[in-house]
Structure 1
């Protein structure tokens, strides 16, 4: 396809039409110029392609549902995400789908977000790494992805109109950095803008977001597509960098584009940029098309189960209740054992060609009996079901309760109102725990839940929404055929009110203030000293691991160099297993408020019993930097940084330190409104501060010798540090401290800094 030639031959009307879909899932074709239509389809954990025999976009072909992102993230495994991506790419090729819509890497700001099951983590580094691996896997098969939802789509309530009001530092450190690495390293064919506004401006027409940051700062060269129905002002969107509107507007927005070009409010240059990006996407799809690709659904069903077995998180295992003894009398209780909740609701809902439940997976094991226990279509205790379950538990060695959140509790389109599980399930757990001391809870949920039963049961196995073969994974994990290796990608607080966004979620009508700033997830719990129910990065195993020999390649580095960190990990148990080593970094003493620790590396190691392996990490400038609004860039402040290796954010095994320096200096310009303390914060200003302090000390000399003694002097010095220079002029009665002399000192200091 000769895109330059085509651009010259296209009419204005044809250019406008290419900037919108032809229907719900296809781009526009122009037959006279041999421009084909390509198909995009929902993902991201399976192919949700509309059937050919229907006009209903919600009637999809039979496909394979893999574990959702909430589960996948707990694998902390880049290779696993790439393997998943390759499987999705093969599905798309077999079904002639050019772009699969995903992955989603929005931050889990609150556990109440109804779409959390589609997102990876509360931590931007983890989310960015897994999204990058996912995209690389899909696109290695000649199929495009759509990194979404760019940006700050962190709730479903009023999602098409609310404004996410956020400061510049938080915007970059938490919410944009999750997207930055996938854009730069994986180069997704498309990026999907979100529905919401950011600081008052819709994402679909936000030039700062779509052009200044995405294209100019990050160097993105792909296509930007709207979320379905996210467009507000179409011509303004094109000028801001939104190339393709989906789905079709039935020609209405085409007319607005034509009108805007004709009246000069939209330049032909901006329209041509959008058209070029659409044509480039079509060309990529044509070049990557592999029609002979086979789709082995049964093989992918097996893969879905294997992936889930490496994602599930063993949260609690008192008295080593797991793995279960295969000869014991075991009660499986709960409707999810028979009809598992394995995926979320909404646009990612897969029409699974088969589903394997835990009950089906254990067929043939005569020592396992089943009671339904509760219903999922309503939160109401059915006495007959409850009594049957309690009686079964009473006569069993172990009771395994399959519980969690029904789809009515969490889905795309609405947010949860609380973190509780259904009352009928909680009552069931309480009653079973009264008659059986050996209780294991197997959870099916898309986000964190409160667990009032945590101290009443021996074991808790978090499966999240584990895909259509969840039952096979559950059997393997419960009976020790697989060793749990997942770690939580989000914090489970003891109760909702502990969450940092509690007072500001879901906001005040169309205004949502991100008042917690950078303190999202574990960053907040660590800063506040709040003990969570289960911390970020937590996950148990059937074996044990020991850390040793944490080393760094240098004791002091410049921020343009890379630091290598290594730590030895030994499997000290009697089972083979996998350990996720987490590397955290903290600034020991910073002039700005920073988190206690931040995840900056992770490696998943498979270790045979008794084996030792070395985890190796590479830390660059961004591992030590914070985003500095004064320079609109990342900045490393000179000082000592603590490097921590841990099994979770609250289980730090080893630590060391390194000094990091930078040639970058923050711009400093002092005025009479600058405080004395700010003057004293830089070496060049300390002499000036000491000079001022000595004069004030003379004026208040008697203060130090009165009954209050030294404390009065300290109080006065503290007050002076926080005083603007202009206030000192009027507050003191020192002849040498005049407005003119203060202005002269400030001017001299600014000149000295400018020369440096």
Structure 2
């Protein structure tokens, strides 16, 4: 091992060219390459951004799931973001992780973006400011942040090849800006390049973005890594300043670098530049004290649980409380909990952000726990299903020895017993498998956690478990596979995915469509043998961007007659004092790998909501989604909460708000449109571009609320909107003189005019009516969150800098703040301005850089 204070240049001088080449790519999915001959160890990375998965998708060490980024952004809470960053750092330490792959700050351009829930906001100031706090918390404990995905990675459709065609001004003011703010306020130690092209050129080989802007103009001196399998060139990516290709083994470096050097396309100095940045991050890893190649451990403490619960509540936005139904009164005797998102804990969106939670509290569990304290009876009904895939069977399965879970076995050759035939011979004994492992879940993405010294990638897999239903009657089963195989119940074939299965969206687009069937007459409490047999050869023969053994996703639930279920839920609502409707999306609808097709709530959700609203005048609607959904019943709903994905404690945090343990203080980090067509990216998003391979950012700088105000188009709920159980009064705006360099102090008073302690998010907007260039009606330039006791008044202060008064001048390729009068407005939301003032800039000035 190198000494902790090693000299980077001295180490570089000791490395051979082949060793330098080796360092330019990762070792496997989550590590950098070691050079033991020189004492260079391997650094460990982990997904993020809302948790620390560790080094395994399959059978990994459980983790704490924090609220999705849209929820954290909607808290407008810088201190909370920093606390979460510190908690993530603690979990990184427990898992021997030196580099966390987060936060994500891609701009929320459209509600349909599959990874929209991973980013904080549609507004660059809120996005970058919350990201900076997260980074500062994480890096204060020695763990590197990796801000991503640089830049304009805003859709999943053709994400590896699509060109985001953006004007220079929009690129600077909207899409690069959150990265710039985070770099200025927090200095992340690593950046991750995005998959896509920007104006025709892949970012991973875009010298102008990676070197000219990020390094030279902004002064970034850390490491730039690729997104996973996001390198498409050898010489160009290295010349552009992309230090590290991830993951390993290399696809575009290694021998290709040596060939490029032989041809004079690369020089040793090019390699040295990249190696210097890799060693610079390694030096920070040494300073952290996190061991190298450490065993992975979980972190589940009372302190972490308390933070998770507080974060879940603070990531909740109260949108309507017209009749004062909330908080729930202590005299409430009966509560009907209805809806598809009530019984299951929707902790996160899908894809690389999703992880195995240490535990999870569903909304139903959280509500039942709080209801006990006030003596209320709780009854539950699903009302209407909204699943894309049936719920997992994890709570219903046991191994043959009685332990929870299932057994997975692997063979490298066709075992005996007609392995994946639709008519297998179960009487024929299988020869011993080469390796086996238990698992707790019926969702197994077999891309890691497998003993590769014993198991080949082309293999045969058997998944066996005992399934015990908790409800008698007919059950629906749904299966999709990465591979080819069949599902058997008590030896009888019930789903056939062995004969030319159609491809679907599961497993990052590598899996089959989900095939469903109904099994009649199952008995509660009786155990049934479930078996899935898979051949991965078919999967391996297809074009896959990474090596993987295959995948299984098996779900089931009692068969539901939708009409009957809604009717029963309505009757339950009628018979209860209060009805709590928990509806929304989940990680099957919002996920990396694909975009949403529309903004609609799935299934018969809207009908369920409308009928329950008519049945009970005390109905509370809680929508849970990472990004906006259409709400055709919103005028009838007098009480409405937006909950986002709340992490481990989603149910407890939701219940805390419903029962008044926490006074809601969140405000929307996203504009909620009335309909998809109102979104400014419509119709230029996803596959709707006019030119194949290109998506035109025709809305320019008018993203989110900027566009709604430009078009004078009222949204469903405006950016920055959220109400409280308290009421607040704004007064006494005071503006310091605007300095010649653009510094301004904004002060004002906020009074809590209610008898309930609360917190108010005050937002500072700047308007530039005299600009020589078109400008939005106003733009968020600062905010503060103020805690107030009943009747208390505090003076709030927000400091603005030159960025608040500038726009990007494409002609001069610089930022410019023009002399003249600016409006400085303070609001409770973008649509609710409370105070207005003016300041004057005496002289025009311009600049480049941070």
CA distance in 2, matches of 1:390, 1:161: 48
**Cα-to-partner distance string for 1:135-194 (whole Å, 9 max, x where unaligned):** 000011111110000000011111110001011111100001110021223111110000
Greater shift after overlay, 65-74 or 415-424?
A: 415-424
**Cα-to-partner distance string for 1:519-549 (whole Å, 9 max, x where unaligned):** 0000000111001100000000001000000
Note if 1:24 corresponds to 2:29.
yes
CA distance in 1, matches of 2:250, 2:746: 56
Equivalent position of 1:754 in the other structure: none
Greater shift after overlay, 392-401 or 574-583?
A: 392-401
Q: How does 1:331-410 map to 2 (within 5 A)?
A: 331-361=336-366, 362-363=368-369, 364=372, 365-378=375-388, 382-410=562-590
User: Match of 2:245, SS?
Assistant: coil
Equivalent position of 2:786 in the other structure: 605
Greater shift after overlay, 154-163 or 331-340?
A: 331-340
CA distance in 2, matches of 1:150, 1:388: 50
User: Match of 1:347, SS?
Assistant: helix
Equivalent position of 1:537 in the other structure: 720
Equivalent position of 2:611 in the other structure: 431
Q: How does 1:635-654 map to 2 (within 5 A)?
A: 635-654=816-835
Displacement of 1:405: 0.8
Equivalent position of 1:712 in the other structure: none
Indicate the structure with greater helix content: 1
Q: How does 1:45-84 map to 2 (within 5 A)?
A: 45-51=50-56, 57-84=57-84
User: Match of 2:265, SS?
Assistant: coil
Displacement of 1:596: 0.2
**Cα-to-partner distance string for 1:610-640 (whole Å, 9 max, x where unaligned):** 0011111112111100000111111011111
User: Match of 1:449, SS?
Assistant: coil
Note if 1:496 corresponds to 2:676.
yes
Bigger Rg over Cα? 1
Displacement of 1:114: 0.7
Displacement of 1:387: 2.1
Check conservation: 1:438, 1:457, Cα contact below 8 A.
Answer: no
Equivalent position of 2:85 in the other structure: 85
Displacement of 1:561: 4.2
Displacement of 1:252: 5.6
Equivalent position of 1:566 in the other structure: 747
Displacement of 1:396: 1.3
Displacement of 1:23: 0.8
Q: 1:657 aligns with which of 817, 820, 838?
A: 838
Displacement of 1:331: 1.0
Check conservation: 1:335, 1:372, Cα contact below 8 A.
Answer: yes
Q: 1:588 aligns with which of 769, 778, 781?
A: 769
TM-score (norm 1): 0.85
Check conservation: 1:640, 1:657, Cα contact below 8 A.
Answer: yes
Q: 1:449 aligns with which of 613, 629, 635?
A: 629
Displacement of 1:563: 1.1
Q: 1:471 aligns with which of 643, 651, 659?
A: 651
Note if 1:131 corresponds to 2:141.
no
User: Match of 1:337, SS?
Assistant: coil
Check conservation: 1:104, 1:119, Cα contact below 8 A.
Answer: yes
Indicate the structure with greater strand content: 2
User: Match of 2:845, SS?
Assistant: coil
Note if 1:417 corresponds to 2:427.
no
User: Match of 1:253, SS?
Assistant: coil
Report runs of 4+ in structure 1 exceeding 6 Å deviation: none
CA distance in 1, matches of 2:303, 2:72: 19
User: Match of 1:300, SS?
Assistant: helix
Check conservation: 2:313, 2:664, Cα contact below 8 A.
Answer: yes
Q: 2:40 aligns with which of 35, 39, 63?
A: 35
Displacement of 1:294: 9.0
| Gap runs ≥5 in structure 2 | 1-5, 390-559
Displacement of 1:295: 3.3
Check conservation: 2:337, 2:580, Cα contact below 8 A.
Answer: yes
Matched length? 659
CA distance in 1, matches of 2:195, 2:711: 33
Equivalent position of 2:209 in the other structure: 209
User: Match of 1:468, SS?
Assistant: helix
**Cα-to-partner distance string for 1:244-273 (whole Å, 9 max, x where unaligned):** 000013476211111112221112212100
Displacement of 1:299: 2.8
Greater shift after overlay, 79-88 or 632-641?
A: 632-641
User: Match of 1:635, SS?
Assistant: strand
Q: Which has the higher contact order (CA 8 A, sep 6+)?
A: 2
CA distance in 2, matches of 1:306, 1:457: 26
**Cα-to-partner distance string for 1:692-729 (whole Å, 9 max, x where unaligned):** xxxxxxxxxxxxxxxxxxxxxxxxxxxxxxxxxxxxxx
Instruction: From the superposition, tell whether residues 294 and 196 of structure 1 become closer, same or farther in structure 2 (CA, over 3 Å).
Output: closer
CA distance in 2, matches of 1:378, 1:24: 29
Instruction: From the superposition, tell whether residues 665 and 228 of structure 1 become closer, same or farther in structure 2 (CA, over 3 Å).
Output: closer
**Cα-to-partner distance string for 1:206-226 (whole Å, 9 max, x where unaligned):** 001100000001100100000
